[in-house]
Chain A
Amino acid sequence: MAKKENIVEEKIKEIAQEVYDTIHLKEKPELESPIRSLNNVSYNEQEGFFKILGKTKVRTLTANTIKTFAQTLRMMALSKDLVSDNEIATKREAYYLSKNWGEARFKEQPESDSVMDDIEAMMGVNREQIGFIPGEKGGAVAGELTVIDVDSESKEKLEIDCTKFGSGAYAIPSSVEHLKFKTKAKFVLAIETAGMFERLNKHKYWRTANCIIIAMSGVPTRATRRFMRKLADENKLQVYVFTDGDPYGFFSIYRTLKVGSGNAAHINQYFCVPNARFIGVTPQDIIDYKLPTHPLKEVDFKKIKDVLKNDPFCKHHKEWQKALKQMAQMKVRVEQQAFSAHSLNFVIDEYLPNKLKNSKTWLP
C-alpha cells in the first residue's frame, strides 16, 4: 500500500512539473484526463466490464478554464498532502477545505466532486488512493458471512459474524481492500431497497436459502461494489441481483454493479462484479406473477430510449433489448414490494425460490 501512495505523490508532482515547465516556456499549460462517459467505454463479455478507451480531454489554461484549472491544481495539492500524511478526507470535507481557497473555493459540492473525479481519472487510480473517501453510507449485510477486519487502534483481528446483528445489519465500510471473509454461503443476493432487505432479514431468509443478503439502497457505493467483487473473486460466490422492475433498477443499479459506469470509467476494472446475474423483477415477471404496477413516467421512457441507443452493455445483450422494449410496450413499472399484494411472505415462499431455480427467467 505504502508504495502505491508514493506513486500517487510522484504522479501529482510530475503533472505539476509539466505545468510548471510549460509556463516557463511561456506557453499555455494543459491538464489531460480521460473522458468519463459511456462513449469512451467498450464492452465485451469476456472482459466482463466497461473498459475505458483512449479518448481524453485536454484542459488548456484560458480565460474560460482558469478557475477549474486553479481548483484542479489546488485539489491535487490537497490530495498530495493527504497521501503523504496518510490522512483521508471525505468528499464533503474536501469541499469544505476548499472554502479556505478564497476566490478559488467551490460553490457547491458537485463542483468539487467533479474535479476530484477528474484527478482520480488523470492518475488512473481509485479515489481512496488519492486520499478521498465518499461520504455516503455503504450497503447493509446480513447472513452466513464472517468479516475479518482489523481494529484501528489495537491492530487486533476482529471477526464479525453477520448472522448476529439481530434485526440490524453489518454496514460496509468505505474502504474494503483489507477485509477478509469466511463463509459457507452458496450465493449473494443484492437487494435494491432497504424495505425488502428488512423483510428478508426479519424472516432470516439468508438461513433458509443459505446465502448473504446485501441492501444496496439505490445505486451501490463503490465500497459495496468492491465488497461484492471480493466475495465473488475470493470466495467464488455467485451474485444475484433483485431490484425494482424499472429502467433505473436495470441500468443504473444492476448494470453499474455488473460492469461499471461511464462516469467512473477509469476504475471499472476494480469496481465491477462480472458474474452478477439479474433475477428480477423482470418485465415478464409482471405478467407471470400478475403484479400490480405503476405507469412508466416520462423519465423512464427517456431512460429506455437512451439506454437502447447508447449503452454498450445493452447493445451487447439482445435479452436486455427485448426486456426494455417489452417494458416500453407495457408502459408500466413494478416495485419489489408489489409481491405483498399476494401475501406478505409471497416473495420468500414463492418468488425467490422459483426464480433462483429457473435460470431461464433471469436476464444476463
Chain B
Amino acid sequence: MAKRSAEELAKNQREISIAEFFEKNRHLLGFDNPRRSLLTTIKEAVDNALDACEEARILPEIQVELIQLSETRFRVIIEDNGPGIIKKQIPKIFAKLLYGSKFHKLSATRGQQGIGISAAVLYGQLTTGKPASITSKTGKGKLAEFVKLKINTSTNNPVLSDEKEVEWEEKDHGTRIEIDMEAAYLKGRQSVDEYIKQTAIVNPHCTIIYTDPSANQIIFPRATEDLPPEAVEIKPHPYGIELGRLIKMIEMTAAKTLQQFLMTEFVRVSSKVSKEICENSALLPKTKPKKITRDLAENLYKGIKKTKIMAPPTDCISPIGADLLERGLRKEINAEFYCSTTRPASVYRGNPFVVEAAMAYGGEQPADKTVRVMRFANRVPLLYQQGACGITKSIQTTAWKSYGLQQSRSALPVGPCSIVLHVTSVWVPFTSEEKSALAHYDELMKEMRLALQECGRKLASFVNKKKRLKDEVKKRSYIEKYIPHVAEGLKEIMNFDEIKKREIEDYLSEILEHTRGEIEEIKVDNPDYDPEFAAIGKEVVEKPKEEEKNEDKEENEEESNDDDSVPKEEKQTTLG
C-alpha cells in the first residue's frame, strides 16, 4: 500500500461545525426518536418562555399548540407573553447553536447552554426541510418582527428568509415560534401532556393553555399571582472552578492584579482571603494576571483548594416551597397522606443548591407497584432517563423498609406512594446535554437522601398509625364476631328471649367499646384533588368494555375450544 503524506491527509482535515456535530448526534440533545423529539422541542421552547418572562418580571402565560399535519408530521406552536426579542437577536437565538445569555452566568434558570431551541429548529429543518417561523413583539404600539429561519449547518449560522414586520394585535409583547417536524404524539408518563401538567405543578405562577392534536384545549390557570423571586446571578465560587476555566478567566479579566482578580471575579473572596490564596499558591498578590502562566495557574488552583473559603451565599436560589409542592401533588394524586420538606441550602463544587421533596401515600395508588417518581430540576420536569438520574439513585439508596414501604436491595421501593424531588441550583449538574438526568455528586445525593428521610419519618408515623388502626379494627371485628355467642350461651342457659339477648349484646358492645376507646378513621380527605387534572396524560384505556369483551371471549373459547373452523358470523352471534 502506498503511504500517504501528511499533506495529503491534511486535505481531509477541517473544522467541524457544532451544528454539523449535532446534526449527526442529535440524540445527545434529546432528539433520538419522534416522540421524544416532540417533547424536547416543547420543553426547550417552554423553558425559554418561562425564563424570559421571569427575567422580565412578567407573569407568564404560555400557549402550546400541536397540529397534526400528516401521520408523522406535526406543527408545534409555542407562544408567550414575554418581553420579546429585538430584531437583531432573533436569528442568533433561534438559529445558532451555543448562543445564549445563560451559559456565562450562574443563576437558577431553566436554560443553561443556549443549545435547546436552536437544536429544535435544526431538527425541524432536518426532518421536513422547512424553516421555523418566529414572530416577536417588544412593546405596545410596535409592529412585530417576523422571520423564517434555517441553520447553515456547516457554518452554524442562521439563514433568514421572508423577513417582514407584521401586525400582532392580541399581544403587547411576546414571542411565537412555529416549527414543523417529524414527530409522534402519544399519551403516558413520558408524554407532552404529562410534561405540561408537571410543569404547571411546579410553576404555580404560570398559566398554560395547551391544545393537543385532537384540538382539545386544556387550560392550566395560575395558582398564585406571585412570581418566584428573580433568579439572582452570582459569581463563581473558587471551589467550583476547574483549572481550564480558571486559566480562561485569568486571560479575560480586566483586573490589574491577582488579588484584584480573585476579589472581583469570585464570590466570597475578601482581600484577606485573596491574600491567603496567594500565600497558599506561593504567588504575590500584586502579580499581573497577564503574567500568570499555565504552571502558575495550576499553583493558584491548588492554592485555592488549600484555603478555607466561606460557602457561597444561598439566597440566590429560590425553592418552590414545601407547601406549594405539596399542593401541586394534592391536585395530581388523591392520597390519604401528604408530606413535604425543603432542605436548607447546601453547596456542591462551589454551586449552591436546594433540595425539596414531597410524598403522597395511600388512596388509589397501587400497593404492589414500585413508587411513582416525579423528578424536577429548576422547575423543569424530567421525564426521561429515570434510571440514570441521581434523584432515582437517591431514592434507591434510602432504606424505605423502616418507613413502611417494601424494598428489595437497592431498588425503587414498592408501595402506594408517589415521591417528588426537586433540585434547584445555579448550575444543575446534568449528565448530558439532553438534561434528563442529574449527576451523582456526593453532596447532592446526601441532601436528597436527607430530604427523603425527613419525609420518610413522617410517612412512617402515618403508616404505623394506619397499621395500628387496622389491627384495632381487626380486633374489634373479632370482638363483634363473638359478642352474639356470649349472649347466645347465656340465652341457652337462662332461657331468656331474643329481646333480652339483644340487650346483652348491646351492653357487651358498650363495655368493650368503653375500654377500647373511640376509633379514629383514616380516609382520603383531599379537597384539592382534581380528577380531570390527574387524568391528563394518562393512557386512555376503556376498561369496562375491554373486560366485557374478554369475558365473552373466554366463554367463547370454552365453547369453541377445539373447533377452529367455526365461521365468523357464528362467532359474532355468540358475542352479541
A12 at the interface (CB under 8 A from B): yes
* Contact call A20/B485, Cβ cutoff below 8 A: no
Residue of B nearest to A19 (CB): B490
Q: How far is the CA of A63 from the CA of B474 in the complex (A)?
A: 11
Establish whether residues B482 and A77, one from each chain, have CB atoms under 8 Å apart when the complex forms: no
The smallest C-beta distance from A77 to any residue of chain B, in angstroms, reads 4
CA gap between A19 and B504 in the complex, in Å: 10
B252 beta carbon closer than 8 Å to chain A: no
Residue among B481, B488, B489, B512 with max Cβ neighbours from chain A (10 Å): B489
Q: Which of B462-517 contact A (CB under 8 A)?
A: 475-476, 478-479, 481-483, 485-486, 488-490, 492-494, 504, 507-508, 510-512, 514-516
Q: Are A77 and B492 in contact (CB under 8 A)?
A: yes
A255 sits at the interface (CB 8 A) = no
Whether B486 lies near A13 (C-beta < 8 A) is: no
> Does more than half of chain B's interface fall in helix, strand or loop, or is it mixed?
helix
Instruction: Known A26-B511, A66-B478; judge A13-B483 contact (CB<8 A).
Output: no
CB distance from A338 to the nearest CB of B (A): 52
Q: For B483, what are the chain A residues with a Cβ–Cβ distance below 8 Å?
A: 66
Count of A-B contacts judged by CB separation below 8 Å? 78
Taking a contact as CB atoms closer than 8 A, the residue among A62, A67, A74 that contacts B492 in the complex is A74
Nearest-Cβ distance from residue B494 to partner chain A, whole angstroms: 5
User: Given that A27-B511, A28-B511 are known contacts, is A13 also in contact with B493, CB under 8 Å in the complex?
Assistant: yes
Q: Is B482 touching A67 in the complex (CB atoms < 8 A)?
A: yes
Chain B residues with CB under 8 A of A102? 485
Q: Which residues of A contact B512 (CB under 8 A)?
A: 61-63, 66
- A80 sits at the interface (CB 8 A): yes
Min CB gap A322→B, angstroms = 51
Give Cα A26–Cα B476 distance, bound, in whole angstroms.
Answer: 18
B490 touches A16 (CB 8 A): yes
Distance (whole angstroms) from the CB of A27 to the closest CB of chain B: 7
Contacts of A63 in B (CB 8 A): 475-476, 478-479, 512, 516
Known interface pairs A63-B478, A104-B482; A73-B507 also in contact (CB < 8 Å): no
A109: CB under 8 A from chain B? no
Number of contact residues on A: which range applies? 20 to 34
Contacts of B475 in A (CB 8 A): 63
Instruction: Report the Cα distance A19→B486, complex, angstroms.
Output: 10
Structural contact, A80 and B493, CB atoms closer than 8 A: yes
Interface residues of A in 62-100 (CB under 8 A from B): 62-63, 66-67, 69-74, 76-77, 80-81
Chain B residues with CB below 8 A from A28, complex form: 511, 515
Instruction: Please report the C-alpha to C-alpha distance between residue A148 and residue B124 in the assembled complex, in whole angstroms.
Output: 114
Write the nearest CB–CB distance from B517 to chain A, whole angstroms.
12
State how many angstroms separate the Cβ of A126 from the closest Cβ of chain B: 20
Which residues in B have their C-beta under 8 angstroms from that of A69?
482, 486
In the complex, which residues of chain A have a beta carbon less than 8 angstroms from the beta carbon of B507? 23-24, 26
- Which residues in B have their C-beta under 8 angstroms from that of A81? 492
Inter-chain contacts of A153 with B (CB < 8 A) = none
Q: Residue A103 at the B interface, CB < 8 A?
A: yes
Which residues does chain B contribute within 8 Å of A165, judged by CB atoms? Answer: none
Does A101 have its Cβ within 8 Å of any Cβ on chain B? yes
Closest Cβ of chain A to B509, distance in Å, is 11
Instruction: Name the distance in Å between B518's Cβ and chain A's nearest Cβ.
Output: 16
Identify the interface centre among B479, B483, B516: most chain A CB within 10 Å of its CB: B479
- A192–B45 Cα distance when bound, in Å, is 97
Nearest CB on A from B520, distance (A): 17
Closest to B478 in A: A63
**What A residues does B511 contact at CB under 8 A?**
23, 26-28, 61
Contact between chains at A61 and B489 (CB < 8 Å): no
Near B by CB (< 8 A), chain A positions 10-34 give: 12-13, 16-17, 19-20, 23-24, 26-28
CA distance A304 to B551 in the complex (A): 67
Residue in B closest to A78 when the chains form the complex, CB atoms: B492
Residue of A nearest to B508 (CB): A23
Indicate which residue in A12, A26, A103 contacts B485 across the interface (CB closer than 8 Å). Answer: A103
* Contact of B493 with A77 in the complex, beta carbons under 8 Å: yes
Question: Please, which residues of chain A bring their CB within 8 A of the CB of B516?
Answer: 63
B535: min CB distance to chain A, Å: 44
Q: How far is the CA of A24 from the CA of B490 in the complex (A)?
A: 13
A70 to B493, CA, bound (A): 12
How far does the alpha carbon of A92 sit from the alpha carbon of B508 in the complex, in Å? 31
| Complex alpha-carbon distance, A74 and B511, angstroms | 20
Q: Mark B346-373, 1 if CB is under 8 A from A, else 0.
A: 0000000000000000000000000000
Residue among B483, B485, B494 with the most chain A CB within 10 A? B485
Question: Residue on B with the closest CB to A15?
Answer: B493
CB A255 to nearest CB in B, in angstroms, measures 36
Other-chain residue from A26, A73, A103 in contact with B493 (beta carbon distance below 8 A) = A73
Chain B residues within 8 Å of A19, by CB: 490
B489 touches A74 (CB 8 A): yes
List chain A residues, Cβ under 8 A from B482. Answer: 66-67, 69-70, 103-104
CA distance A91 to B440 in the complex (A): 71
Chain A interface (Cβ < 8 Å from any Cβ of B): 12-13, 16-17, 19-20, 23-24, 26-28, 61-63, 66-67, 69-74, 76-77, 80-81, 101-104
Nearest 7 pairs of A and B residues by beta carbon? A73-B489, A77-B492, A70-B485, A104-B485, A16-B493, A74-B489, A66-B482
Other A-B pairs beyond A66-B486, A70-B482, A77-B492, 13, CB < 8 Å: A13-B493, A17-B494, A20-B490, A61-B508, A63-B478, A63-B512, A69-B482, A73-B490, A73-B493, A74-B492, A77-B489, A101-B485, A102-B485
List 19 interface pairs A-B (beta carbons < 8 Å), by A numbering.
A13-B493, A19-B490, A20-B494, A20-B504, A23-B504, A23-B508, A24-B507, A63-B512, A66-B478, A66-B483, A67-B482, A70-B488, A72-B489, A73-B488, A73-B489, A73-B490, A74-B492, A101-B485, A103-B481
